[in-house]
Amino acid sequence: MGESVTLPHVVANVVEFASRAIAVMRRGRRIDPGPRPVRVNLGSALAVAPGWIHVDSSPNALLAGRSRSIQSFAYRYTGSNAQFDLEEYRRRLNSHRFVHHDLAYGVPFTDASVDFLYSSHFLEHLSWGAGLRLLRDCYRVLHPGGVIRLCVPDLEKAVQFYLRGERDRFLSYFFSDATGQRRQHRFMYDFALLYEALSSTGFVDVIKCEFQTGRTPDLLELDNRSDETLYVEAVRAA
C-alpha cells in the first residue's frame, strides 16, 4: 500500500525544492571569507563549532539569523532537526556563521583564502568523481600549507560490522532508509581510497588520524562517531 501524502510532507518537499533552486542560482559564487585564520566546515548540518564557517545545502543553512517565526516554521518542516529542541536549533543557527551552498558545485570561496577545511560524514554523499572534483576545489581554496581533515564512515569498519553479524548496520551505510536523495551515500572509503583521492589531487602528508587528534583545531567539538569513522588529514603543498 502506498504512503499517504500529509501536509507536513508536502511542505517539507516544497522547502527542499526551494532550497535546491536557490543553490543552483548561487552556484558560481566565490565569497571572500574574511580575515585569517579561516576555518570552514563542509556539510556541517548543525554540528557546529565557534569561529567556523559552516557550509551546507540543507534548508537550515538558509535560515541562520532569520526571524523566530520563520525558524519555528522550518524547524517543524525541514525534517532533520529531531535531535534538538527548538531553542537549541535556533541557538545553533543564530550564534554561528552558515553559508547555504551545494558543494557539488565546488567550494564557494576565493582562491587560497582558507586555512583549515573540515568535513565529517559528508564526502560519501558524493560519487567518486564528484568527490574528486570537490577535493580539487578544496585544494584551490586552501592557502599553501593549509590543512584538510576528512572524516567518513570507514568501509573497513562497516565490513567488520557485517562479519560480526550486524547486517542492518552494515546495510545502512550503503542504502538510506531516510527520505530525500541528499542523505544517500554514493560512495564509501577506506584509507587507501581516501589516500588515492587526496594524493591524486595534489595533497601531501596524507595521514590517518585518531579520533579528536590531529593538526585541525577544535576537534573536541567537531569529531564525532568514533566507532564508525575514518579520520584523515592532508596538507596543501606549499
Ligand X SMILES: C[S@@+](CC[C@H](N)C(=O)[O-])C[C@H]1O[C@@H](n2cnc3c(N)ncnc32)[C@H](O)[C@@H]1O
Nearest-angstrom CA–CA distance, 155 and 229: 9
Residue 224 in contact with ligand X, rule: CB under 6 A: yes
Nearest-angstrom CA–CA distance, 85 and 88: 5
Give the H or E element holding residue 231.
Answer: strand 229-235
Sites for ligand X among residues 81-140 (CB under 6 A):
102-104, 120-122, 125
Nearest-angstrom CA–CA distance, 160 and 155: 9
Nearest-angstrom CA–CA distance, 5 and 158: 34
Using CB under 6 A, count the residues that bind ligand X.
16
Nearest-angstrom CA–CA distance, 115 and 133: 19
Nearer to ligand X, 14 or 204 (CB): 14
Smallest gap from residue 106 Cβ to ligand X (A): 10
Interface residue with ligand X among 182, 185, 186, 215 (CB under 6 A) is 182
Binding marks (x or -) toward ligand X, 17..56, rule CB under 6 A? --------------------------xxx-x--------x
Smallest gap from residue 224 Cβ to ligand X (A): 5
For strands 204-209 and 229-235, give the pairing: antiparallel
Q: Which residues bind ligand X (CB under 6 A)?
A: 43-45, 47, 56-58, 102-104, 120-122, 125, 182, 224
